[in-house]
Amino acid sequence: MKKIILLFIAFLLFTSCKKSKNQNIEIIPKVKILKILNDFVKDNECDKCIYEIYIDKINPYHYELIIYKGQQSLTLEENNKNEQIPIPIVKLKSGVEFDVYSGIEHYFTINDSSNSFKKLKIKSINNLNSKKEVENKMWIVKDSMNVITILKNDKVYPFLPPPRGKITFLKK
């Protein structure tokens, strides 16, 4: 009887501790951000582009997101230098996948034998070798106490204050 119980416990431990074979964790956006992401894709459609979201929590009541589309990662040099890969991804119904960066990728990585970092570098290089030049597009989404403001500014870098100057308000 003891052997059966020990075998049963060993079986439970073995089956419950299996690691996922997914390269990334797919996350589902909440309604307020889902509409913004869908609008961004609709306004900036591109077949072979990289779509990214950078999330910066300023304080408990203020968040800034950068939504980006381009031929290569907005932070490609930083990612290469620090061997950073986005851990979660957001996949929309349209099939567009957003890589999500929040700072966690600087300190943590996924347990991945297929080497996602090299695949991410290859994806950017293949897009750069494309004959079609693609304009980078960015939206800054400010969420201040659940008041959403969307700004269009194509000269911004994640986790830094947005530059002053010409900014076009898209929604208020």
Mean pLDDT per 10-residue run, the chain (172 residues)?
62 52 72 94 90 94 94 89 86 91 86 57 55 81 92 83 60 50
Q: What is the DSSP letter of 32?
A: H
In this predicted structure, what is the pLDDT of residue 12?
A: 55
In this predicted structure, what is the pLDDT of residue 109?
A: 80
Long-range contacts, stretch 164-172, CB < 8 angstroms, 24+ apart: 167/140, 170/139
In this predicted structure, what is the pLDDT of residue 69?
A: 95
Domain around 98 = 22-171
In this predicted structure, what is the pLDDT of residue 110?
A: 74
What's the CA gap between 146 and 148, in Å, rounded? 6
111 found inside a domain: yes
Residues 146, 148, 152, CA angle at the centre, nearest 5°?
160
9 found inside a domain: no
Evaluate whether 158 touches 57 at the Cβ level (below 8 Å): no
> What dihedral do alpha carbons 123, 124, 128, 132 form, nearest 10°?
60
5 found inside a domain: no
10 found inside a domain: no
In this predicted structure, what is the pLDDT of residue 22?
A: 44
Q: Total structural domains in the chain?
A: 1
In this predicted structure, what is the pLDDT of residue 19?
A: 44
Closest of 78, 168, 67, 171 to residue 121, by C-alpha? 78
6 found inside a domain: no
134 found inside a domain: yes
In this predicted structure, what is the pLDDT of residue 9?
A: 65
